[in-house]
């Protein structure tokens, strides 16, 4: 394994945080988790998205930059590598799905200034699940403010991720289709995903795997 910085991403409800935690525990890796629970705009956004979308996306942009800039520049000598359950580009994907065009254009200017200073991962893993499975997972974990998330919004985010992958060729992107797996309840499924991630050194660009 030749990774110093690994990103595990996915749409809302894909299980990225759960998977990243398990990898970090097994490999003694430094874990970076997105801090979203305390964001005061998140519940407001889900109830009134048009009113609070710009405030939400700007607050997330600031929080993600502060966290990643701090965590990725301070190496932990007692950890094997760093794993995060989000990548900074997530800010742009979500903003594109939620903001009006003029708001997004302003947001993009701010994002571009900041993005240059953020370290890039050695491997970006995207755990893909269809929208119907995402909705089941969202319902199962029971966060009140997420229950009103629409299929349309999840589809917009999914399309945003895939558009982003097509535009990037400077890091390896590994898209793993996990629709037929349950790595939370089934250890064998977890092992399958883990093997795909760590068994091969991936080239820059997009690689797709269906398990």
Tell me the per-residue pLDDT of 53-74, one tens digit each, with 9 for 90 and over: 999 999 999 999 999 999 998 8
Range of the domain at 177: 5-210
Model confidence pLDDT, tens digit, residues 69-111 = 999 988 788 899 999 999 999 999 999 999 999 999 999 999 9
Which phi-psi region, left, alpha or beta, contains residue 75 (left: φ > 0; alpha: ψ -120 to 50)?
beta
CA-closest candidate to residue 11, choices 198, 153, 191, 166: 153
DSSP β-ladder status, 123-128 and 30-32: unpaired
| Residue of 2, 76, 85, 130 marked active site | 85
pLDDT over 90, % of the chain:
77
DSSP β-ladder status, 123-128 and 5-10: parallel
Residue scoring higher pLDDT (140 or 32)? 32
CATH code (residue 78): 3.40.50.300
Domain count, the chain: 1
Is 85 a residue of the active site?
Answer: yes
């Amino acid at each position: 394994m030749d990774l110093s910085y690994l990103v595990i991403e996915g749409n809302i409800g894909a299980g990225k945080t759960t998977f990243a935690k398990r990898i970090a525990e097994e490999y003694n890796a430094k874990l970076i988790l997105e801090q979203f629970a305390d964001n005061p705009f998140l519940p407001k956004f889900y109830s009134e998205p048009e009113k609070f979308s710009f405030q939400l996306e700007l607050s997330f942009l600031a929080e993600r930059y502060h966290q990643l800039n701090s965590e990725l520049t301070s190496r932990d000598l007692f950890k094997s590598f760093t794993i995060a359950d989000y990548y900074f580009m997530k800010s742009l994907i979500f903003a594109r799905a939620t903001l009006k065009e003029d708001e997004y254009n302003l947001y993009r200017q701010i994002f571009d200034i900041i993005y240059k200073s953020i370290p890039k991962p050695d491997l970006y893993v995207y755990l893909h699940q269809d929208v119907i499975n995402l909705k089941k997972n969202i319902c199962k974990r029971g966060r009140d403010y997420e229950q009103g998330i629409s299929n349309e919004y999840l589809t917009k985010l999914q399309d945003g991720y895939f558009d982003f992958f097509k535009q990037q060729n400077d890091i390896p992107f590994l898209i793993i289709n996990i629709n037929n797996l349950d790595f939370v309840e089934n250890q064998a499924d977890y092992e399958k995903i883990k093997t795909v991630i760590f068994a091969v050194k991936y080239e820059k660009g997009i690689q797709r795997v269906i398990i």
